[in-house]
Amino acid sequence: MNEPIIELRGVSKRFGPSYDAAARLTRDIAARFGKAPKSEVVHAVDNVDLVVGKGEVVGLVGESGCGKSTLGRMVAGIMPPSDGTILFKGRDLASLPPPAAKDAKLKVQMIFQDPYASLNPRLRVADIVGEAPRVHGMIPAGQFDTYLDEQLRRAGLDPAFKRRYPHQFSGGQRQRIGIARALAVQPEFLVCDEAVAALDVSIQAQVLNLFMDLRRDLDLTYLFISHDLGVVEHLSDRVLIMYLGRIVESAGTEAIFARPNHPYTQALLAEVPRIEARKRRFTAIKGEIPSPIAPPSGCHFHPRCPHAMPRCATEAPALKEIAPGHKSACHLNDATS
């Protein structure tokens, strides 16, 4: 693998209730009378290790509530982790002096799912795309317009539209505005959070092609978050499968689609509707995704797993290498070896 651009070490994110003074007081009084406070902490991301090499496209797959967006937001620097460290090119973002940290953070940009909610409706396209590079002094004096035009053109937008507002564009064009905005500060790493999920099929193909062109032209690295396995399979070099805050399997794209190891990955792949599968019988894994407030003990997947053993309910399996570059967190792998 190339030199790592982003490295996560034991990163966790927990969301708990925030207590104001009154809530703290009642909690302390209740504690004095022997009532333990109810713990309502969501373990959105639980001890994740991840290395993304330069130029790599890593697909992050999981169902809603599995923590994939939270992980993406921490990588993009929008949210600090509760535990663990995030290294950008080998340097810890939290311990860098502020100017260096700012430069590092600019190199990681994010593209959001909803092209309607992620653009300020009161700003013109020129301001949406141009504000960040102007504030950060990235544009030489007097060259704002040429710089802006170039950014828009690169995302496949006509610079003649730069005086327009977001509502005057279609969904696909808005997503291109979001892409132009992210690229305007010359990032090296893009976090795409369900960036094509809200688009129509024919527009989705256009935007995916744009991502692939940009990767080639600008030598970009992607963390591509999606629930759509077809899109991830097409775009990624490596795929991570997440379930309730933990990464359960990680492997090269071909390996994971040809030889899925974790029972959850197997179930997920079996249930993806494919255009090649006609009049199939839909079968389903039982049950729903449990609440991340009270995740099941041991392996989080064991209540839904067809191969669950007594051990799965008590002991969380570690993410272990089962083949070169292929890691899986399942006790079944111990039994066979």
Kindly list the residues in this chain that would bind other proteins in the complex (CB under 8 A).
63-64, 170-173, 200-206, 208-209, 212-213, 227, 229-231, 233-235, 253-254, 267-268, 271-285, 288-289
Measured from the CB atom, the residue of 148 and 157 that comes closer to other proteins is: 157
Q: How far is the CB of 82 from other proteins (least distance, A)?
A: 25
Terminal C-alpha separation, the chain:
28
Range 197-201, long-range pairs (CB < 8 A, 24+ positions): 197/113, 197/226, 197/227, 197/228, 198/113, 198/114, 198/115, 198/116, 198/171, 199/115, 199/171, 199/172, 199/175, 200/171, 200/172
Measured from the CB atom, the residue of 109 and 253 that comes closer to other proteins is: 253
Q: How far is the CB of 205 from other proteins (least distance, A)?
A: 4
Residues 6+ apart with CB under 8 A from 243: 62, 63, 66, 264, 289, 300, 301
Euclidean distance between CA atoms 256 and 251, whole angstroms: 6
Strand order in the sheet with 189-193: 108-111, 189-193, 221-226, 57-61, 238-243, 246-252, 326-328, 320-323
Measured from the CB atom, the residue of 123 and 269 that comes closer to other proteins is: 269
Measured from the CB atom, the residue of 151 and 204 that comes closer to other proteins is: 204
For residue 181, how many C-alpha atoms fall within 13 Å in the half-sphere facing its CB? Answer: 25
Q: How far is the CB of 168 from other proteins (least distance, A)?
A: 12
Measured from the CB atom, the residue of 128 and 198 that comes closer to other proteins is: 198
Q: How far is the CB of 228 from other proteins (least distance, A)?
A: 8
Q: How far is CA 25 from CA 29, 40, 215, 294, in A?
A: 6, 17, 53, 25
Q: How far is the CB of 131 from other proteins (least distance, A)?
A: 27
Measured from the CB atom, the residue of 32 and 279 that comes closer to other proteins is: 279
Q: How far is the CB of 283 from other proteins (least distance, A)?
A: 6
